[in-house]
Structure 1
Amino acid sequence: MRNPTYLEISRHRVFYFRWPLIRPGAAGSGTPTSLKISLGTRADSEALSMARYLSYVGQALMKQWSASSMRYDEIRAALKKHFQDALARRKSEIAAEGRLSVMHVGALQNGVGFAEEAIATGSDILPHISDESLAIGFAEKYDLPLAPGSRAFETFKVEMRKAYRAYCVAVLAHDQSFESYDFDETVIPSGSTFAKAATGPRRTLSDVAAKFVAEQKKAESWGTRTKQQKLQHLELLKEILGVEIDIAGVTPSDVQRVKETLLNYPRNRNKIEATRKLSIEELSKLQGHKTLGVRTINTYLQTYAGLFAWARKNRYVPENLFDGLSVKESRKQAEAAQREAFSQTQIDLILDELLNNRRSLINKDYQKWGPLIGLYTGARLNEICQIDLSDIKEDAGIWYFDINDEGDKKHLKNTASRRIVPIHDQLVALGFLEYVDGLRAHGQKRLFPDFSLSAKEGYGRALGRWFNDRFLVQLGIKSKELVFHSFRHGMVTKLLQAGVEENLAKAIVGHTRQGVTQKHYFKQGYTLAQMQEALRKF
């Protein structure tokens, strides 16, 4: 018998089938390797028959392999087209509806971080779905010749992470482009109602500021801490411009003077003996002292922009001279000040310590349950720390937190913060309801009886300081960007990435929902069942 090239015989006269292949890692390079299979026979005719069949299969597989490969430039082109279309849709949405919400900005910023971690470590981009599943779905959607396990498939996953990062950055950059205008000043048409406002009755800055504050209090727009901050900002504005200045007579040069004062304004002015009694004029000449940070300066300017926006709507001023005024942060400053979500690796580390106490960091009940509630609800620190046992309720088999400001000196950030949040299945599985029953059995009224009220930090002072300044430090993951509030960022990000509707995510974490329908006709809000289903995607 004349043996084909793919049929070999060993020294023990056993026939082997050998089939030449091109390594997936060397597609197009021509570097040969082979597949060798024992046929388990010494009979010539049987070996030949089996080898012919296997050679047919081999040819079919090679043809399929050849058809299922993609060039590197084809992979990049496919990804570029996909994310170009996605970016165009986002731009269209912004053009129609306005700038991105705080939640979406945070989700995109976290998306950049997740993508960068995936690029560096080879991990999945999203916590709830593997990159392999994303790549397979992508290939099916666009009918791409990508075979799982192939070199092209692995290359696609790597490039997909880069493309997703670039997409998030591009959307954020487009949104940021609306931060200001590219002209020097606003021209007010003569004869307009705004121009006529300047000729009306004289209103002092002090009078208008008082009306502004009174309306915000009436509308309960500010929480206790925010109110204190706003009042402090407005007192400084009156000190700079004078309480008796006609608010309609404030000029661009006055506004510039306010900004320049803030740029040289000392930190903790009223706590330092050397600056406490100095006038604004004397402070402006001060040198060699620690000044306000950029983000703090911008919070002052935002307060003033809010005052003048309100004054413009009420026809006290012709225009808002503080509109768009800010101090631009450097990229380094912005990144340093931006809070981030914990990565999945960090969450795993935190959970391991909270549940197993390997470093003996958990000595009190609130040190375990406070962070766990933060992780599984996305609630604010003070919202968690002021929960009463009567706020833990059950309806139709669903246990939930009633987050409210009813009770002993409880307060919320705003009206949207008043909400109900289902208790996550994981909290129930970890024994949270048993912990609550134990407190009730001992006659306690509050979830965390150890906490006392702080004028500035509410009930959250003890947990916040322990978690941020000790717990994270001992775990080796402490940074300026990672704090207790990072649980909130993580909840928002993961809900949006899991496809939860934005307004439903906002209802869970207590952000103001957008749209006329949501604000005026959907007052009853989402059901507990809807929110529970969304939380199960976390």
Structure 2
Amino acid sequence: MAIAVSKARRLAEDHLLRNANGDYSPDPDAARFPEWQGGAQPQVTSIVAAFKAYAKEAELGARTVKKWGPIIDRLVVHVGRDDLSAVTRTKMIDWKSDLLAQGLSSRSVRDGYIAAAKATLEYALGQDWIKTNPAASIKIRVKKKSRTREKGFTLAEAITILKATLAKPSAQTSRETAAARRWIPWICAYTGARVNEITSLVPDDIRTLAGVPVFRIQAENTKTDEYRIVPINDHLIEQGLLDYVKSRGSQPLFYDPARSRGGTDANPHWQKVGERLAEWIRKLGIPKGVQPNHGWRHRFSSAAMDAGMDERIQNIIQGHAPANEARAYGDLWPQTAQRELQKLPRYEVGAPLVRRMPRLGRQLSKKTRTGNSRTR
């Protein structure tokens, strides 16, 4: 070992001396070293393998992987072989045309098929597995849907749904299904939340912070991957929501895992709850021009505008992504959100109108009073 070190030092000194004397020719002794092979990244040629690598690095959600995986398989079939180099711009244009000819909507092709291919090929480009992304400039013109009515429920539709939630369920209806019908429309009406943010709730998500009962909506169940706190409306508490939560122990509020047919990350139990609730609402006579669950989200926004709710606070309550970096600063405290939510009208299903709830600062001293002046 000592001899080898001494020899290496002597060769290095000889090389430096030659450089010092103006000789910069290649070192004749360098040939004794093997060529460096380390650090080279394995070359991926498979389209499917590229998608799997992209999904892993980007940490795509299980539902996205389930949706996009078969799309990538269809791309392989169209191309003719599982080879990244076989995907050309011409092939992509032909694939787009074939999908549209099969009757798929322009929106589905653009937001599903082309989006999956484009993202996968862009990842492959970044890994230097391909030289260009043949899907990068593929465009699909999507006609804007014409609107024939409000996006949210009308007051009459809202009352129809909320009245139905109070009806006695049939003996064949499970406790969890009955609870979903009883409570989820009311919660959505008073929070503007996405339905699956509510169907996934467990008792631990209902807490009291700064003296305010709140829903803690978990990040993994939101569209923005950010948790948020939403105060529980007094009207929900008066109707007994917290008692129902307590009765569930540690069980999810709106489904029984033991009674479910093996939910997965791609098909969670709580997602099915939302789908079945939508089917039930449709049967109440709610027209197809409004989404049966998402209609509450739009109606909440309309009610918030009408009540003069602070727009930034409303967006945080509903889980909208901030419009810019400045809007992302700060935390919404429970008492601040509660102050704004108290501006919203209360739904009184026994009467044709909705009554205003007390405004903070104007009515707080009258603790026994819950409803005030009537609105339109």
Aligned partner (choices 396, 399, 403) of residue 210 of structure 2: 396
Aligned residue for 2:84, secondary structure, equals coil
Give the superposition deviation at 1:244: 1.5
TM-score by length of 2: 0.64
Q: Which amino acid aligns with 2:55?
A: V
RMSD (Å), alpha carbons: 3.6
Q: Give % identity.
A: 25
Give the superposition deviation at 1:526: 1.6
Aligned partner (choices 52, 58, 62) of residue 216 of structure 1: 58
Aligned partner (choices 232, 235, 244) of residue 435 of structure 1: 244
Q: Could you tell me how far apart the structure 2 residues matched to 1:343 and 1:368 are? A: 20
Q: Which amino acid aligns with 1:485?
A: H
Q: Could you tell me how far apart the structure 2 residues matched to 1:427 and 1:397 are? A: 16
The aligned residue for residue 76 of structure 2 is 238
Q: Does 1:365 align with 2:179?
A: yes
The aligned residue for residue 226 of structure 1 is 64
Q: Which amino acid aligns with 2:300?
A: M
Residue correspondences, number = 291
The aligned residue for residue 408 of structure 1 is none
Q: Which amino acid aligns with 1:420?
A: I
Structure 1, residues 9-53: CA drift from partner, whole Å, max 9, x if none?
xxxxxxxxxxxxxxxxxxxxxxxxxxxxxxxxxxxxxxxxxxxxx
Q: Could you tell me how far apart the structure 2 residues matched to 1:503 and 1:395 are? A: 21
* Mapping for residues 81-480 of structure 1, pairs under 5 Å: 204=45, 206=47, 208-217=50-59, 222-241=60-79, 242-246=81-85, 250-265=87-102, 291-298=103-110, 299-310=112-123, 317-318=131-132, 321-323=135-137, 325-329=139-143, 331=145, 340-355=151-166, 357=167, 364-404=178-218, 411-437=220-246, 439=247, 443-450=249-256, 452=260, 454-455=263-264, 456-460=266-270, 463-473=273-283, 475-479=284-288
TM-score by length of 1: 0.47
Q: Could you tell me how far apart the structure 2 residues matched to 1:472 and 1:362 are? A: 20
Q: Which amino acid aligns with 2:165?
A: L
Q: Which has the higher contact order (CA 8 A, sep 6+)?
A: 2
Q: Could you tell me how far apart the structure 2 residues matched to 1:436 and 1:385 are? A: 13
Contact 1:454 1:461 survives alignment (8 Å): no
The aligned residue for residue 61 of structure 1 is none
Give the superposition deviation at 1:432: 1.3
Q: For structure 1, list consecutive stretches of 5 or more residues without a partner in the other structure.
A: 1-200, 266-290, 406-410
Q: Which amino acid aligns with 2:91?
A: D
Q: Could you tell me how far apart the structure 1 residues matched to 2:324 and 2:182 are? A: 38
Q: Which amino acid aligns with 2:93?
A: Q
Aligned partner (choices 504, 508, 516) of residue 313 of structure 2: 504
Contact 2:180 2:277 survives alignment (8 Å): no
Aligned residue for 2:225, secondary structure, equals helix
Q: Could you tell me how far apart the structure 1 residues matched to 2:181 and 2:275 are? A: 11
CA gap 1:300/1:472 in 2 versus in 1, 3 angstroms: same
CA gap 1:323/1:486 in 2 versus in 1, 3 angstroms: farther
Bigger Rg, structure 1 or 2: 1
Aligned residue for 1:460, secondary structure, equals helix
Structure 1, residues 109-129: CA drift from partner, whole Å, max 9, x if none?
xxxxxxxxxxxxxxxxxxxxx
Q: Which amino acid aligns with 1:350?
A: I
Q: For structure 2, list consecutive stretches of 5 or more residues without a partner in the other structure.
A: 1-41, 345-376
